[in-house]
Structure 1
Amino acid sequence: MDALTLLHGAGLLLIFLGIVTIIVAGIGLFRLPDLYLRASAVGTSAGLGVASIVVGVLLMDFSWLNLVKALIAVIAQLLTSAVGSMAIARSGYLNNSVPAAITHTDDLMKTRRDQFESGHQK
């Protein structure tokens, strides 16, 4: 086996793992009980899944230009998926989306300005 065959096989493996990760995130959209868990699962899984696919494609068709493109794409994907999922969860929280019954604490309630007036709750 030569190095090109090994890189091609590793690229295919990473693409397959990325696809599986995105499928698991899609299943999480239907199976998880509330907005917050869904946003967390999809933000994390989609970010890692797309990054894995991009790196797999890079290994299959390596060039220095493709390396630069892949680095930009992976960094952008990881940053935007995390920020996007947090923005969705925050929007749901500020619009009083009810968390699942398994959620026991709400540390953000202490910071809500619209819930407190002059030191006591409305």
Structure 2
Amino acid sequence: MADALQWIGGGLIIAGGLAVIIGAIGLLRLPDVYARIHAAGVVDTAGVALMILGMICLSPSWLITVKLLLVGIFLFFTSPISGHAIAQVAHDQGIEPVGHDETKPGKTASNTGETDQ
């Protein structure tokens, strides 16, 4: 049983590490701040959660397990809040998403007062 937990824990840590690497590549390659915020949020929720679960499988005592669970709960609540705060500041600064269309859904250029000249 201990060997199975070690294999599962190691696999979860490796999977979390791969998620973090993919998220870091996304931070470098994505076009705008909103897409980058999304990539960072996915890394926090998926990658770090997998790593924490892997460490829980490998933890030798219940005290360490409780501490890891508390860290996971803290990250679960603070990551979306920080991502939302960064996105709100970007929106307040007037940063538009790449590929953003000025016409609203249901409106066309002809009924917004714009001319096609």
TM-score of the two chains, using structure 1 as the length reference: 0.77
* Unmatched 5+ stretches in structure 1: 108-122
- Select 1:44's aligned residue among 42, 45, 61: 42
Matched, 1:94 2:98: no
Cα offset for 1:89?
0.8
- Select 2:16's aligned residue among 18, 29, 49: 18
Cα offset for 1:98?
2.1
**Alpha carbons 2:13, 2:50 under 8 Å: kept:** yes
- Runs of 4+ that moved beyond 4 A: 104-107
Cα offset for 1:93?
0.6
CA distance in 2, matches of 1:21, 1:77: 16
- Across the aligned residues of Structure 1 and Structure 2, the Cα RMSD in angstroms comes to 1.8
**Which amino acid in the other structure matches residue 93 of structure 1?**
H
Q: How much identity, in percent, do the aligned residues show?
A: 33
Residues 55/98 of structure 1: CA separation in 2 closer, same or farther (3 Å cut): same
CA distance in 1, matches of 2:60, 2:89: 40
Residues 10/38 of structure 1: CA separation in 2 closer, same or farther (3 Å cut): same
CA distance in 2, matches of 1:84, 1:65: 28
Matched, 1:75 2:73: yes
* Larger-Rg structure: 2
* Unmatched 5+ stretches in structure 2: 105-117
Cα offset for 1:29?
0.7
Residues 22/68 of structure 1: CA separation in 2 closer, same or farther (3 Å cut): same
- Select 1:65's aligned residue among 63, 66, 79: 63
**Alpha carbons 2:41, 2:83 under 8 Å: kept:** yes
**Which amino acid in the other structure matches residue 78 of structure 1?**
F
Residues 7/94 of structure 1: CA separation in 2 closer, same or farther (3 Å cut): same
**Which amino acid in the other structure matches residue 79 of structure 2?**
S
**Which amino acid in the other structure matches residue 69 of structure 2?**
L
CA distance in 2, matches of 1:104, 1:38: 19
